[in-house]
Structure 1
Amino acid sequence: MRTLPRTLAAPLYAVALVALTAPVALAAPSGGAPPSEAAAPRDLAWSTTTLDANQSFRGLDAVDRSAAWVAGASVTGGRGKVFRTTDGGDSWQDVGPADATGLNFRDVEAVDASTASILAIGEGEASRIYRTTDGGATWTETFRNDTPAAFYNCMDFYPDGRRGLAVSDPVDGRFRIAATQDGGRSWQVLPDDGMPDSTGEANFSASGDCLTISGEEAWFGSGGATSRVFHSRDGGLTWSATRSTIPAGEAAGVFALAFRTPGQGVAVGGDFAAPADGVDASAVSSNRRTWRSGGDLTHLGEDVSWLGHRLVVVGQGGTVGGASVSDDGGRTWQRFSDELFHTLDCTTDGACWAGGGGGRVGRL
């Protein structure tokens, strides 16, 4: 199980392992000036539940205020689990595939409370996609990577629910894209001649949102040799790449993106080797093409989501992390919680769900 992408993980494997297995603790990070208590929003607080302390949750998709899915991996090598709630989080059911021992589920994308796809990450055949249409009672494996050098990290679907994309770390110097045209029932690897050279870069499967789709446009982030945002307007066939303002590094770069509209987006990230350093850990765009520096964070930005006009960001590196909110499109951030989560998703009806280490889920 790795927080870092395969191509960047080896030198800092211990850092990733700590991020996955460290016991949950509430700790304020050092470095950077945290917002004052007076400035911290008073209307935001997490209600948390532990579903399975042996799971680390990094994949989450919220359907609405009642229904949400969360997916993870066993920190001891057991079965990767998927949980679902349909009653607003009052109860959760383990609905994941039975044959998932050793699988590391890092992304879940739901159509509704019954239909969802989940992505397992890893080298070669460890990268797989499963689909259910009956709330997890049964699952069908719809994709298994057959390229040893590929390592899929995250996926997303277009608004029509039929078309979707999944992104892998570079193969022969170019990021690899798999696509579906039938709601995730089948996937095909796209040609890479429309992908810019990506040598030395990789994705981060920190939260399942390293790739995101808004309207008819798709974006994914990178780190490693450089920190960039890749953009496609033709279903993933061709991509342009723009430098983000988030620092690059062996374990640093863009971890997640979110768009309110195709023209208004935010990217968040950081450095897994320095999880308390949130300086320059966000970037914003208002024109699809260029990115400028957003506000500093006091923790990693592993995932970000729009909650109406607000932005919420979460991140956890070992025992260091927290949650912050922005009311100005990501230009400034206010930390409002020390709760530790890797992933979150907010819905159009005003609910935010989150998942993290120690098998914890939260609702805002």
Structure 2
Amino acid sequence: MRIWTCLFLITAFLSCKEDEKPVKTKITSVEIEEIYSNSALSIRAIDIASDKSIAFAANEGAFGLYNPQTEQWITGKQDYDSLNLEFRAVARTLNDFFMLSVASPALLFKTGEYGTMEVVYKEDHEKAFYDAMTFWNAQEGIAMGDPTDDCMSVIITRDGGETWNKVPCDKLPKIKEGEAAFAASNTNIAIVGNRTWIATGGKTSRILFSEDKGMSWQVFDTPMINGEGTTGTYSIDFYDENKGFAIGGDYTKPDDTKANKMRTADGGKTWQLVSDGAEPGYRSCVQYVPNSDGKALVAVGIQGIDYSIDSGDTWQHLSDEGFHTIRFLNENVAYAAGQGRIAKITFK
């Protein structure tokens, strides 16, 4: 286990909020600047904290933190017994760094007292496979994964990540046959205030919803493509309590464009297909552009970067460069990660 006691010190001086500006009404191109490269890594989990630092975790036990103002990286490699750890979920609060491994045993690491990464949750189950993690606030966080019983796996912390407890299945909606989730981009969970949405996929693709930070749950059906183990919703985002968007498809058929994009205007209770039969096809991540009134969206995947200015009705293909996941720093700059790299994306 590598000690990195200075992990968070480099970001202490960063400002917590930038002046808000309206999003550009028309984007015609992107500038892609690679800021991290490691050909051995497939990076599907990144997060941006309120201090603007960028965290990532990946396969080979790799993880790191980037300060965009100093352009400095602190990276590490996490060991646990003889396991070759793969991380597809990461979260960053102002004070702590969290990363969650896939497969069994599921291991959730948190920054320890002396800067090391310490296990705060472990789950030994042959079906354990966690897909995404995020926080409501500095004290309360949530992670979700594939079912090990007759419900989706959901774990929650209420003490800043020191302890995590699995929500019992009698508190969650029962799964349908073949329902699971995809660890494609760490965006299976969306949060606005106390409200939380979780996207499932596979032979059934639905939305789990909680209005009280995971204390109670409902489930809503969707028109997203389903029926196979590789179909369904791969990513979900909400602009506010009502406006939400989800994207997916079938990663084995990335050119298919039917029933892979959907939108809600009532907080996820009902969903409507948009741009049905039109590009883009399969994408692993979608995010709202900040300060866009819920009209501007960016989607990324192995076949490139796409942009919508009309809430997803039509899309413009901006780049063929493939990424797994993306997060916005502000309305004009985002960070994206994919095979072997992390890049700064400037929208022009």
Does the TM-score normalized on the shorter chain lie above 0.5?
A: yes
Aligned mate of 1:179, from 156, 178, 191: 156
- Supply the distance in 1 between the matched residues of 2:69 and 2:264 (Cα, whole angstroms): 33
1:128 equivalent in structure 2: 107
Does the aligned pair in 1 maintain the 2:50–2:93 contact within 8 Å?
no
Q: CA deviation at 1:187?
A: 0.2
Cα separation, partners in 2 of 1:68 and 1:133, compared to 1, 3 Å: farther
Q: Secondary structure at the match of 1:297?
A: coil
1:163 equivalent in structure 2: 140
Root-mean-square deviation over aligned CA pairs: 2.4
2:198 equivalent in structure 1: 220
Structure 2 counterparts to residues 249-260 of structure 1, below 5 A:
249-260=228-239
Cα separation, partners in 2 of 1:65 and 1:116, compared to 1, 3 Å: closer
Does the aligned pair in 2 maintain the 1:52–1:360 contact within 8 Å?
no
1:298 equivalent in structure 2: 280
Deviation string 1:14-38 (CA, Å, 9 cap, x unpaired) is: xxxxxxxxxxxxxxxxxxxxxxxxx
Q: Secondary structure at the match of 2:223?
A: coil
Question: In structure 2, what residue type is equivalent to 1:42?
Answer: T
1:5 equivalent in structure 2: none
Q: Which stretch has the larger CA shift, 253-262 or 90-99? A: 90-99
Deviation string 1:247-284 (CA, Å, 9 cap, x unpaired) is: 01220100111111121111111101101223332111
Aligned mate of 2:48, from 44, 49, 62: 62
Q: CA deviation at 1:298?
A: 2.6
Does the aligned pair in 1 maintain the 2:39–2:340 contact within 8 Å?
yes
Question: In structure 2, what residue type is equivalent to 1:115?
Answer: D
Structure 2 counterparts to residues 1-364 of structure 1, below 5 A:
41-63=27-49, 67-73=53-59, 79-88=60-69, 90-99=71-80, 102-112=84-94, 115-122=96-103, 124-125=104-105, 127-132=106-111, 137-158=115-136, 160-198=137-175, 199-248=177-226, 249-288=228-267, 289-295=269-275, 296-308=278-290, 309=292, 310-316=296-302, 321-348=303-330, 350-364=332-346
- The runs of 5 or more residues in structure 1 that have no matched partner are 1-39, 74-78
Higher helix share goes to which structure? 1
Does the aligned pair in 1 maintain the 2:150–2:169 contact within 8 Å?
no
- Supply the distance in 2 between the matched residues of 1:180 and 1:197 (Cα, whole angstroms): 22
Q: CA deviation at 1:137?
A: 4.2
- Supply the distance in 1 between the matched residues of 2:61 and 2:259 (Cα, whole angstroms): 33
- The runs of 5 or more residues in structure 2 that have no matched partner are 1-25
- Number of aligned residue pairs: 312
Does the aligned pair in 2 maintain the 1:255–1:302 contact within 8 Å?
yes
Question: In structure 2, what residue type is equivalent to 1:302?
Answer: S
- Supply the distance in 2 between the matched residues of 1:195 and 1:269 (Cα, whole angstroms): 24
- Supply the distance in 2 between the matched residues of 1:245 and 1:282 (Cα, whole angstroms): 9
Higher-RCO chain (CA-CA 8 Å, sequence separation at least 6): 1
Does the aligned pair in 1 maintain the 2:178–2:229 contact within 8 Å?
no
Does the aligned pair in 2 maintain the 1:221–1:254 contact within 8 Å?
yes
Does the aligned pair in 2 maintain the 1:46–1:363 contact within 8 Å?
yes
Cα separation, partners in 2 of 1:89 and 1:222, compared to 1, 3 Å: farther
Does the aligned pair in 2 maintain the 1:190–1:237 contact within 8 Å?
no
Does the aligned pair in 2 maintain the 1:311–1:330 contact within 8 Å?
yes
Does the aligned pair in 2 maintain the 1:131–1:140 contact within 8 Å?
yes
| TM-score, normalization by structure 2 | 0.83
- Supply the distance in 2 between the matched residues of 1:279 and 1:88 (Cα, whole angstroms): 42
Query: Identity of aligned pairs, percent?
Result: 26
- Supply the distance in 2 between the matched residues of 1:64 and 1:323 (Cα, whole angstroms): 25
Q: CA deviation at 1:350?
A: 4.5
Q: CA deviation at 1:241?
A: 1.9
Q: CA deviation at 1:171?
A: 2.5
